[in-house]
Amino acid sequence: EAGVTQFPSHSVIEKGQTVTLRCDPISGHDNLYWYRRVMGKEIKFLLHFVKESKQDESGMPNNRFLAERTGGTYSTLKVQPAELEDSGVYFCASSPSQGNTEAFFGQGTRLTVV
């Protein structure tokens, strides 16, 4: 069974450009999460989807970040326009139906904004 897949694994963009990160969760997992680790600090929650609905987006830093999960399958996280402080590793995780606490993480996307 395939795990959580994230694409790209690494992205380098210039300040002001747009970047879209993609996450393919484990098939059948209703819950999808985005997390971010910036500058070697703690991994912070960004948002949580249940199927295609945003359950909690309290961790989204600002309106330059837009997450979607059309059809309740894969998810995208767009940063537009990117700023230097957006650099970090973006993790996606998925878990089965509500009540299961074990989240399976992808390998992360390392975003570098120069």
Taking CB atoms within 8 Å and a gap of at least 24, the contacts of 40-47 are: 43/91, 46/77, 46/90
Q: How far is the CB of 101 from another protein (least distance, A)?
A: 5
Q: How far apart are CA 11 and CA 112, in angstroms?
A: 6
Give me the amino acid identity at 27.
S
Could you say which residues in the range 10-69 bind another protein, by CB under 8 A?
A: 33, 35, 40-45, 48, 55-56, 59
Q: Could you say whether residue 105 binds another protein (CB under 8 A)? A: yes
Q: CB nearer to another protein: give 14 or 41.
A: 41
Q: Could you say whether residue 108 binds another protein (CB under 8 A)? A: yes
Site size for another protein, by CB under 8 A? 26
Torsion, Cα of 64, 61, 7, 114 (10° steps): 70
Q: What angle do CA 29, 33, 39 make, to 5 degrees?
A: 145
Q: Could you say whether residue 106 binds another protein (CB under 8 A)? A: yes
| Site residues for another protein per CB under 8 A | 9, 33, 35, 40-45, 48, 55-56, 59, 89, 91, 93, 98, 101-108, 110
